[in-house]
């Protein structure tokens, strides 16, 4: 059987989409460290051992953007296969900001955070986040992305 990732492991990720007043909060990924370098995306990252995807989504959002999110609702599950051999299964949640003002907290991962109308998103968009935002409209709860 052929391995699907460079380490032979499928990684579990979690992310958060925040929508308020017809706009979504997006963060431009730093060119220094992140997958999707230089692209607009949302907060998210790896689920750590002993952590649920929801806990990871909350933690990553606080670490990256300095905000506390809550009222998480499942949005979409994505199977992502990247050309470098990495494979991720990402659980993406829709969430509300409970406290804080969004701002980049990890400059090596996030350059800037800003709100964008759902019908006027910036480019380039990180493909998994683009798919998650489409799921808001379509209601599709599972999708696949292959680079």
Instruction: Give domain status of residue 1, yes or no.
Output: no
Instruction: Give domain status of residue 3, yes or no.
Output: no
Per-residue pLDDT tens digits for 26-42: 999 886 656 778 899 99
Q: Are 45 and 13 in contact (CB under 8 A)?
A: yes
Instruction: Give domain status of residue 83, yes or no.
Output: yes
Instruction: Give domain status of residue 34, yes or no.
Output: yes
pLDDT of amino acid 82: 85
Q: Are 82 and 89 in contact (CB under 8 A)?
A: no
Per-residue pLDDT tens digits for 44-91: 999 999 999 999 999 999 999 999 999 999 999 999 998 888 899 999
Range of the domain at 103: 10-146
Instruction: Give domain status of residue 5, yes or no.
Output: no
Q: Are 113 and 25 in contact (CB under 8 A)?
A: yes
Question: How many Å apart are CA 1 and CA 99, to the nearest integer?
Answer: 47
CATH at residue 142:
3.90.79.10
> Angle at CA 21, nearest 5°, toward 15 and 23?
50
Give pTM, 2 decimals. Answer: 0.89
Per-residue pLDDT tens digits for 87-130: 999 999 999 999 999 999 988 888 999 999 999 999 999 999 99
pLDDT at residue 3 greater than cutoff 70: no
Closest C-alpha to 41, from 98, 97, 116, 100: 116
Tally of domains in the chain: 1
pLDDT at residue 5 greater than cutoff 60: no
Question: How many Å apart are CA 36 and CA 45, to the nearest integer?
Answer: 12
């Amino acid at each position: 059987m052929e391995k699907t990732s460079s380490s032979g492991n499928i990684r579990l990720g979690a992310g958060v989409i925040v929508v308020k007043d017809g706009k979504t909060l997006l963060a431009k990924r730093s060119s220094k460290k992140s997958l999707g370098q230089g692209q607009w995306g949302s907060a998210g990252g790896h689920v750590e051992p002993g952590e649920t995807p929801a806990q990871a989504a909350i933690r990553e959002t606080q670490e990256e953007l300095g905000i506390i999110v809550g009222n998480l609702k499942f949005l979409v599950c994505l199977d992502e296969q990247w050309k470098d051999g990495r494979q991720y299964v990402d659980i993406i949640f829709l969430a509300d900001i409970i406290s804080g003002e969004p701002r980049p907290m990890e400059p090596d991962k996030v350059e800037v955070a800003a709100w964008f109308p759902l019908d006027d998103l910036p480019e380039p968009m990180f493909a998994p986040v683009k798919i998650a935002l489409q799921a808001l409209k379509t209601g599709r709860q599972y999708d696949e992305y292959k680079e």
